[in-house]
Every structure is written in structure tokens, then in C-alpha cells.
Amino acid sequence: MLTAAGANAGVLRGLPCLLGVMVGMGLMMFLVPLGLGSIVLQNPLVLKALHWGGAAVLLWMSWKIATSSRIDSGSGANPVGFVGAAVFQWINPKSWLVSASAAGTFLSAEGGSSIVQSVFLGGLFVVAALPSCFLWLAFGATAQRLLRHPRRLRVFNVAMGALLALSIVLIV
């Protein structure tokens, strides 16, 4: 999502998407250890709906990316914005699995208050996500210069869409 945002809109116009990913996932990393994760993960119907609903959204996004023909950041094309990127984290099964795994791996009864540990985990994610997610956004923006030719753009978008679609194998 961030690479496509960078390629289609550049770094500056892709920043809301980056910030949305960071805030949405950081909030999830805070709330999952406080019990939300166990409620979701222990309810088979909710978990199944999350898996299949998330897979459907990822497939839809894959299709939109693969069939996109935009690259000109001046054309008015807007990438996924702050709210869309933040909300997407909550329907993305990979985000839930990462949050639950991180909570199970890094939190402990001896670590002190669950709120303090949750704040630390959420904050740590935000701090770590900024440089790593920015690289994906910057990669897309850098690729933008190489993708001025329609054929190269088509190959890039199909490859990005296919890679996102392949990630569904990890959740279903």
C-alpha cells in the first residue's frame, strides 16, 4: 500500500497513508495486549470473519493496484489517506496476527503494569514503523521516476498487486 502510494503520489502526498498505518497499527499494538486480542482470537466466528473479510479486502486492493494506470502525482490521484490506512490495519488479518504475536512474545506478568507494557509496545511499534514504512513509501516515489513509460508502470502495478494478493496465502 505504501509503495503504491509513493509511486502514484510521491512522498509528500503519501505521508498521510504512512501516518495512518503507523497510528492504526500502534493503536492496535496498544489495545491487543489489554485484552482485545484475546477476545477476538478466542471467538472462532469473529476470527474466521476477520480472515475472510481481510482476504477479500486485500484481493480488492490487489486488483485496484494491478489495474491502476496512474503515476502522475499532479493528476489529482489520491493514495489511501490517513483514516483509510489506519482503519485498514483493523481489518487486516496480518495486523491482528502480528499484534497478538508481539503481545504474546514481549509482554510478561513480571514486566509490570499491563497498561505500561501496552503503551511501550504501541510506542515501540510507532518508532520502529516510521523509518521502515518510510522506506517503502520512498521506494515507490523513487520508482515513480522510472515508471513514466506506460509499459513499465503496468508491469510495476501488476507486480505490486500480485505480491499483495500472494500475501493472502499467509492468512487463509
pLDDT in tens, 105-116: 777 777 778 788
Q: What pLDDT, on the 0 to 100 scale, is given for residue 98?
A: 81
The Cα 20–Cα 152 span in angstroms is 28
Cβ pair 28, 95 in contact under 8 A: yes
pLDDT band at 33 (very low <50, low <70, confident <90, very high): confident
pLDDT in tens, 138-147: 998 898 888 8
Is the model more confident about 14 or about 73? Answer: 14
pLDDT band at 77 (very low <50, low <70, confident <90, very high): low
pLDDT at 130 over 70: yes
Whose CA is closest to 80, among 37, 12, 144, 16? 16
Residue 148, phi then psi, degrees to nearest 5: -70, -30
The Cα 156–Cα 161 span in angstroms is 9
pLDDT in tens, 82-123: 999 999 898 887 788 788 778 877 777 777 787 888 899 999
Q: What pLDDT, on the 0 to 100 scale, is given for residue 47?
A: 67
C-alpha grid cell for residue 158?
501488476
pTM recorded for the entire structure: 0.71
Cβ pair 121, 107 in contact under 8 A: yes
Cβ pair 91, 57 in contact under 8 A: yes
